[in-house]
Amino acid sequence: MVYIVALLSIIFLGLAALVVSRMAKVVKNASGPVEDGQIGMSNKINGTLFLAFFIVGLIGAVWSFLYAKQFFLPEASSPHGRHTDFLFWLGMSIITIAFVVTNALLFGFAWRYQHKEGRKASYYPENHKLELIWTVIPAVIMALLVFTGWRAWRDIMAEAPENAQVFEIVGKQFNWIVRYPGVDNNKLGAFNYKLIDNNNDTGIDYADEASFDDFTSTSELHIPANKPILLKIRARDVLHSVFIPHLRVKMDAVPGMPTRFQFTADKTTDEMRNLTGNPDFTYEIACTEVCGQGHFSMRIRLIVEDEASWLAWCKEQKPLLTSTPELAARIPSNLKAKAAKYLPADAVSAPSDSVTASVLKGGVTVASSTLR
């Protein structure tokens, strides 16, 4: 490695010396008047190469775009995603047009106004009309782009409709945990990060009776199609980022700062399989914030289905309280009767004095079950 660095250093020093010598020659020639016949053919060659470079570069850029088009994502599966795509391609079109025009003038002028024997250049110090045009037009275009982008962001970040279906997704190294509101009250219960442990990955607070029917998943998220979705986002450890590319959903998961994203998926997984011609197609939720060595594996499937199928799937799931009855220790005594329907029979019949033991450690209540 040391030899490679030394070799590159010698090459760069040689190039620097060559550039300095060329610059010295240019400065020397510029100190006096240029006489006819002094430039020769080099200027014509350079002017022609400028024009050829622009044409070849333009052809290469067009070819690159057409070739890469096959790798583009299909049309977005959400209304806000299609609007976002429109704004993206609008901005790219304006930038591309400006780039082509300005570079066509740059390279074209280098060729068209190259030095010719007997012709003198004319100069004028200012042109207020031209300056006004190239200042006002870009300013107006930029203002319109900023305004339309702000409106799109405002709509995404607005309060979700009352009929929105709420889900919670929590990121941790190195997987996503999804919490569903259950089917009895369709309402997410409260959470408390101090309650997180091996049995309660998302810190569900069972002092809130709305939590009793909540259930979780670490393998997939099921959502209904054609219904507003509010995704509440949290992180347990480091910075993560929720990314659903086909729905154009992306939002950071920040420790200690809950975020959210609302959207509507209007193409089911089965519809996308038909549209793409890929029977194995599936939506995916990935992490796009490098969060450690296992970042590459931090993804789960997203299943978009009609509302009837989604409801039927939800009814088949067991609340976390049912699959982990030891969490009953965290239920206040005045709510135990309401929680009984979610607990196994043996857990309900256990004596209350042998079910719960609470120890206050460092200001955090740690509950443990001693079911017999």
Pairing verdict, β 228-235 and 240-244: unpaired
- 117 pLDDT band (50/70/90 cuts)? confident
Number of other CB atoms surrounding residue 276 within 10 Å: 12
- 121 pLDDT band (50/70/90 cuts)? confident
Task: Determine the Cα–Cα distance for residues 95 and 220; give it in Å rounded to an integer.
Answer: 39
Least reliable range by pLDDT among 200-204, 278-282, 353-357: 353-357
The structural architecture, per CATH, of the domain 165-369 is Sandwich (2.60)
- 258 pLDDT band (50/70/90 cuts)? very high
Task: Determine the Cα–Cα distance for residues 20 and 22; give it in Å rounded to an integer.
Answer: 5
Pairing verdict, β 165-172 and 175-180: antiparallel
Domain ranges of the chain: 165-369
For the purposes of burial, counting CB atoms within 10 Å of the CB of 321, is it exposed (0-12), middle (13-18) or buried (19 or more)?
Answer: buried
Q: What is the pLDDT of residue 152?
A: 92
Mean of the per-residue pLDDT values for the chain? Answer: 86
Q: Does the pLDDT value for residue 171 go beyond 50?
A: yes
Q: Does the pLDDT value for residue 345 go beyond 80?
A: no
Full-model pTM: 0.75
Q: What amino acid occupies position 162?
A: E
Q: Indicate the angle between helix axes 128-157 and 79-112, nearest 10 degrees.
A: 160
- Please name which of 330, 327, 323 lies closest in space to residue 364, comparing C-alpha atoms: 330
Would you say how long the chain is, in residues? 372
Q: What is the pLDDT of residue 74?
A: 92
Q: What is the pLDDT of residue 35?
A: 55
Quick one: average pLDDT of 225-240? 95
Q: What is the pLDDT of residue 352?
A: 44
Task: Determine the Cα–Cα distance for residues 132 and 139; give it in Å rounded to an integer.
Answer: 11
Q: What amino acid occupies position 139?
A: A
Q: What is the pLDDT of residue 33?
A: 57
Q: What is the pLDDT of residue 28?
A: 67
CB of 295 closer than 8 Å to CB of 164: no
Q: Does the pLDDT value for residue 37 go beyond 80?
A: no
Task: List, in order, residues 6 or more apart from 334 with CB less than 8 Å away.
Answer: none
Quick one: average pLDDT of 159-173? 93
Task: Determine the Cα–Cα distance for residues 223 and 307; give it in Å rounded to an integer.
Answer: 8
Q: Does the pLDDT value for residue 31 go beyond 80?
A: no
Both structure tokens of 287: 């992490």
Q: What is the pLDDT of residue 1?
A: 67
The DSSP 8-state label assigned to residue 103 in this structure reads: H
Q: Does the pLDDT value for residue 182 go beyond 90?
A: no
Least reliable range by pLDDT among 19-28, 179-188, 225-234, 300-309: 19-28
- Strand order of the β-sheet with 299-305 is 220-224, 299-305, 283-287, 240-244, 249-253
Number of other CB atoms surrounding residue 342 within 10 Å: 24
